[in-house]
Structure 1
Amino acid sequence: MLLDSKDIKFDWQAAKFDLPDPDGKSYAIDELMGENGLLIAFVCNHCPYVKAIISHLVEDAKILQEKGIGVVAISANDYKKYPEDSPPKMKLFAEKHGFTFPYLIDEEQTTARAYDAVCTPDFFGLNSSGELQYRGRLDNLKMGHGENRVPELVNAMNLIAETGKGPREQTASIGCSIKWK
């Protein structure tokens, strides 16, 4: 089912989490936070919207990381019903696409619920104080294709890094619904 991310709640304090990657290493939000903020991307392996934008997301993540912004991807899908999103396949997906950031498992779906995540991809841009400043789309392209790409997420995160505040005008991300248990 196609969904849009919800309206942004500016300055909402990000919920704490401590989630494992497919190898069992745990990551807490505090250690993922960069000096200039954090991008949290709720994604999965099987969603056609994620597949369409994943190369741009990986490129954009590298730009953000160079600017002191932490990046993390989280999969909250029920992987027992959707085996393509299982931890071993998450690891392969991250390797295939060259992730330079952790890809974490939200098996109990508590983090996705705490963030009110609704779709994949769903992006949450936090300032260095952990306050929500961006909940928009990656860019202006349709399914990763088109000309004259405007990297809306990178532009927003740059503004957040410089000012602590995100742009007031944001376009919701579109994607597949999170597969809830």
Structure 2
Amino acid sequence: MALTYSSMLELGTQMPKFELENTVNNEIFSTSYFNSTTPKLVMFICNHCPYVIHYHKELTKLSQDYKDDLDFVAISSNDIVNYPEDSPEKMKELAIELGFFFPYLYDETQGVAKSFKAACTPEFYLFNNEKTLEYRGRLDNSSPGNGIEPSGIDLRDAIEKLLNGKEVNQAQHPSMGCNIKWK
């Protein structure tokens, strides 16, 4: 595991378009399927990263808390040849185990990760209803072993401000975690 920080895609960036297989139902998911009237949360995660595992309960809680207010999607872009625990079959198992109701997409070519300038897992991108980037970075200041319980405070603050028509704080912190396992 190599500790990596997110590259912090520039705020105001339009959401890159993509079409990927949803490992939960084996159907293609496209950015055109997003609801046009709600913000979107794109999460780069994977199955094996201890930083993502640290957030499992909070990711499930966050998605339940905002299921009526946001469109959620998770993407795994890791090389499954060298990291078979991140395979689509294992992704589906994890999504069912954690009760994810949102698509968990497999980025086989890694092109989507590159278009988002994703560097690590987990990494979070919050877009407004016009698909303009409002927040990118960390969920909160917890990490495995630092004794802080996950709360999602950084991302939750951005979501609340966006949903309530307030300006999202521009002072944002990069996410940190395992590097994306490039081919």
Which TM-score applies when normalising by structure 2? 0.91
SS at match of 2:137: coil
Per the TM alignment, residue 149 of structure 1 is displaced from its structure 2 partner at its CA by: 3.6
**1:142 maps onto 2:143 in alignment:** yes
Aligned residue number for residue 46 of structure 1: 48
- Asked if the contact 2:78/2:182 (under 8 Å) is kept, the reply is yes
Q: In the superposition, relative to structure 1, how do residues 118 and 147 fare at CA in structure 2: closer, same or farther (>3 Å)?
A: closer
Per the TM alignment, residue 167 of structure 1 is displaced from its structure 2 partner at its CA by: 1.6
2-structure distance, mates of 1:106, 1:55 = 24
SS at match of 1:135: strand
1-structure distance, mates of 2:150, 2:85 = 32
Per the TM alignment, residue 53 of structure 1 is displaced from its structure 2 partner at its CA by: 0.6
2-structure distance, mates of 1:93, 1:37 = 25
For structure 2, the 5+ residue unaligned runs are none
Aligned residue number for residue 159 of structure 1: 161
1-structure distance, mates of 2:143, 2:112 = 28
Per the TM alignment, residue 51 of structure 1 is displaced from its structure 2 partner at its CA by: 0.5
Identical residues among aligned pairs (%): 38
1-structure distance, mates of 2:175, 2:82 = 24
Q: In the superposition, relative to structure 1, how do residues 30 and 154 fare at CA in structure 2: closer, same or farther (>3 Å)?
A: farther
**1:110 maps onto 2:149 in alignment:** no
What does the per-residue CA deviation read over 1:70-121, in whole Å, with 9 as the maximum and x for residues that have no partner?
A: 0000000011111000011001111111112110000011110000000000
For structure 1, the 5+ residue unaligned runs are none
What does the per-residue CA deviation read over 1:129-162, in whole Å, with 9 as the maximum and x for residues that have no partner?
A: 1011111211232338525946211220121223
